[in-house]
Chain A
Amino acid sequence: MEASSPTDLSVSDPQLQHFIEVETQKQRFQQLVHQMTELCWEKCMDKPGPKLDSRAETCFVNCVERFIDTSQFILNRLEQTQKSKSAFSESLTD
């Protein structure tokens, strides 16, 4: 089997690479769903009733959206902080 070039580091089988990417994405998605279900169940579910009422459903919708907003907010905040304080990243990324 011939390598295309010494510096070509990509997996030689594009089908395999695609498969790995898809599976990784699926796993990430499942982890995210699991995490959000845990968090939003806590915030939105009081006593489980005989069915999922509309108040809880609305809360779940808000929860997922606010979760994404919050993640984005924290991401931006951390990026800002990283730029101004370099000591922060040294102590936290050990």
Chain B
Amino acid sequence: MAEPDSGERAVSELRELVAAEQKRAQFTAQVHDFMEVCWDKCVDKPGSKLDHRTESCLASCVDRFIDTTLSITQRFSQLLQKAGH
């Protein structure tokens, strides 16, 4: 029978593993989201390489999407705070 100590150690190791995998999956999902949005906005006809205009559009797309998310999140939490009190 396993000792209680090593059992707890196994559980916390498993938790760390799951947390790490979750983080990785979340990041991958984020990349996917950005891809969907920015591919549409920045790529017209796919060429033989990513030209500078497309790259700078993609960079702006990522940054503006983040700004937008932050701004909407802040606005929402303001509204929720007002509603809660």
Residues of A within 8 A of B (CB): 3, 5-7, 9, 39-40, 43-44, 59, 62-63, 65-67, 69-71, 73-75, 77-78, 81, 85, 87-88, 91-93
Contact = CB atoms under 8 A, between A and B. Distances in A.
Contacts, number: 84
19 contacts: A6-B2, A7-B10, A9-B10, A9-B14, A9-B17, A44-B46, A66-B47, A66-B49, A66-B50, A67-B35, A69-B49, A70-B35, A74-B58, A74-B62, A78-B30, A78-B34, A85-B66, A88-B70, A93-B30
The prevalent SS among residues of B at the interface is helix
Interface of B: 2-3, 6-7, 9-10, 13-14, 17, 26-27, 30-31, 34-35, 38-39, 42-50, 55, 58-59, 62-63, 66, 69-70, 73
B27 A63 contact: no
Given A6-B9, A7-B13, A43 B50 contact: no
Contacts of A93: 26, 30
B13 to A, nearest CB: 6
B55 A73 contact: yes
Given A81-B66, A88-B66, A74 B9 contact: no
The prevalent SS among residues of A at the interface is helix
